[in-house]
Amino acid sequence: MNFFSKLFSTKGNSEPVDLSLLKTDIHSHLIPGIDDGSQSLDDSIAMLYKFKELGYKKVITTPHIMSDQYRNTPEIIYAGLEVVRAELKRINLDIEIEAAAEYFFDETLFEKIKKKELMTFNGNHVLVEFSFFSMPQGEENLFFELLTNGYQPVLAHFERYSFLHGSIEKAIEWRNKGIYIQMNLNSLSGHYGPEVKRQAEKLIQAGAIDLVGTDCHRIEHLLLLEKQLSSSNFKKLFELNFKNNQL
């Protein structure tokens, strides 16, 4: 039996999918005050309470690193992580949190690769994002450099890149080269617009998804997700196998 077939109940189509079998979320912004995600420790803890309520065992939070906007460093991110962990321990909230980063593809990224200073999860996985509006120059070189330097590239929210809308050929091509494709769960809700939703549906139909994530910036994202778990799109999505539960 397909592992994720266990997500479904025999009670009928209204039964929500069970997120606990994912175990791990790999894309969120929960370190307070360092990017466009959580703005306070209270915000972070509220979101982690909701993650636990939804069934997650672990959250790998991934603050933005962008040279022109969010100039975060591993030191900044790890310091924020320890603040969150200390509060989880104080209130006895049993959910694991780790930190990596969401790297924007800009001119500084190749130097970080060369210096082996990228923040990773699962040993060598690196979350990378593009501009939403235009294909970056040198993306094939970027993936090559990551792979040859021992990193596992994970392309964040493929379905949100407007310059690729209408086709998922690049997702298939990149997966064939060893790149993992990550999809945002709330893309299926229409939260990012109808074109993003259609692109997400294409990815599901092709089975071209390796990892899913909440991309949670605020608790409203988790509340929206919770409302969507009985939808037909979510049930189709969770017929696929993901790598989340291996992390």
Confidence (pLDDT) at 1: 43
User: Residue 175 pLDDT more than 80?
Assistant: yes
- Which three-class secondary structure state does DSSP give residue 147? helix
pLDDT for residue 71 is more than 50: yes
Q: Looking at residues 14-34, what average pLDDT do you find?
A: 96
- The structure tokens listed for 41 are 């420790």
Q: Residue 87 corresponds to which tokens in the numbers above?
A: 């509060």
Cα–Cα separations (whole angstroms), residue 107 to 25, 111, 132, 157: 28, 8, 17, 21
Global model pTM greater than 0.75: yes
User: Which domains can be identified in the chain, with CATH numbers?
Assistant: 19-246 (3.20.20.140)
Query: What sign does the CA torsion over 161, 33, 53, 222 have?
Result: negative
Q: Does position 13 have pLDDT exceeding 50, yes or no?
A: yes
Q: 223 Cβ partners below 8 Å, 6+ apart?
A: 50
- Give the 3-state secondary structure of residue 47: helix
Q: Both tokens of residue 49?
A: 């309470």
Chain-wide mean pLDDT for the chain? 94
b/e per residue, 87-104, with b = 16+ CB within 10 A?
bbeeeeeeeebbbbbbbb
**Average pLDDT rounded to a whole number, residues 88-111:** 96
Q: What is the pLDDT of residues 103-137, one digit of tens each?
A: 999 889 999 999 999 999 999 999 999 999 999 99
Report which residue type is found at 201.
E
